[in-house]
Amino acid sequence: MKMTFRWYGSDDPVSLSKIRQIPNMSGVVSAIYDIPVGEVWPVERIQALKREVTAAGLELEVIESVPVHEDIKLGRGDCERYIENYKQNIKNLGQCGIKVICYNFMPVFDWTRTQLDKELPDGSNALVYYKDQLEKMNPLSGELSLPGWDASYKKEDLQELFEAYGKLTEEDLWHNLEHFLSEIIPVAEASDVKMAIHPDDPPWNIFGLPRIITNEKNLDRFLALVDSPYNGLTLCSGSLGCTTANDIPALVRKYAGMGRIHFAHVRNVKILPDGGFEESAHDSSCGSLDIFAILKAYHDAGFDGYIRPDHGRMIWGETGRAGYGLYDRALGAVYINGIWEALDKMS
Ligand code: DNO
């Protein structure tokens, strides 16, 4: 595996030089954040980003993410133009040596939490999803936004988007996803860039919006839509793992065994009795997931793709982008590295 870390560009308070000091860190995953969703990222901009990262002694081989415009998910309006732009982005990124593109197909909202700074008993702050808080949230207020979200919409379009999704069934969403994949995967193959869809987080419908990348049955269906190694997964343990219905080690064993996981997001989550959840430290002892079993499944499958610690809590007084501070994510990376070294030496 290749250990990586998410970096939000030059205004990220977590600098490249700090990331480089985390042991065994091969590179960062990042994106160009100031180009409107759906438009083409010029090659010069990608090269400049790559130069900045490599000058700091790190690699840039994974893009997280190239967001998918809502018109593509809804199969309407400028859908075909945005698909052409997406293809151009794949070509441009491939030309710059990018190996994996992470993206998602969640209608309107990316990952959703109800509170970003819940104080845990040890004094750390974490992101949480509480059902009672969710019921009080108004998705149309435009106030719902998480740091680091892959925004694929404009605030003023929310009302209209909700109306459009009101008429879209889950089957329509599958149909639009299939169309998108059938167009882009041949380009990804020709450009040698592996596409890696991120599962829906949380993996259930939210605010009445359909979500389909949620469980084993749907992951099977997704991979069969275009049966190519270039049509793969970002397997996010914390997203799929916030319901006990998903057995993460089993999913990893299956899909890594098929060579379809290109990017591993590893984090733990504590599932609450009512179905809500709290993000926890990475260690197995802190949440509901067995991180050792998950990593063992990757190791047994001979996984040699990219991996990253996922959200961290805010600890030691750190402030900044919720979920994406330095300290707890660095602890996560070190924990994953430790388990991996043990697995290597024991095998
Ligand atoms: C959350 C991230 C997601 C992910 C996107 C991919 O922390 O894992 O925002 O990057 O869903 O498009």
**310 Cα–ligand 1 center, Å:** 10
Active site residue 262: no
Burial class (CB in 10 A: 0-12, 13-18, 19+), 235: buried
- Evaluate whether 275 touches 243 at the Cβ level (below 8 Å): yes
CA 245 to chain centre: 20
Catalytic residue of the set 230, 255, 324, 335: 324
Catalytic residue of the set 69, 262, 265, 282: 265
Residue 149 reports pLDDT greater than 80: no
- Evaluate whether 301 touches 258 at the Cβ level (below 8 Å): no
Nearest atom in ligand 1 to the alpha carbon of residue 104 is 12
User: Which domains are seen in the chain, by residue range?
Assistant: 2-346 (3.20.20.150)
Nearest atom in ligand 1 to the alpha carbon of residue 201 is 11
Question: Could you tell me the pLDDT band of residue 145, with boundaries at 50, 70 and 90?
Answer: low
Residue 71 reports pLDDT greater than 70: yes
Active site residue 236: yes
pLDDT score, position 256: 98
Q: Of 124 and 135, which is predicted with more confidence?
A: 124
Question: Could you tell me the pLDDT band of residue 332, with boundaries at 50, 70 and 90?
Answer: very high
Active site residue 198: yes
Residue 148 reports pLDDT greater than 90: no
Q: What would the two tokens of residue 137 be?
A: 């949230």
| Mean pLDDT, rounded, of the chain | 95
Residue 151 reports pLDDT greater than 80: no
Question: Could you tell me the pLDDT band of residue 223, with boundaries at 50, 70 and 90?
Answer: very high
pLDDT score, position 137: 86
pLDDT score, position 150: 63
Q: What is the C-alpha separation between 278 and 294, in angstroms, rounded?
A: 19
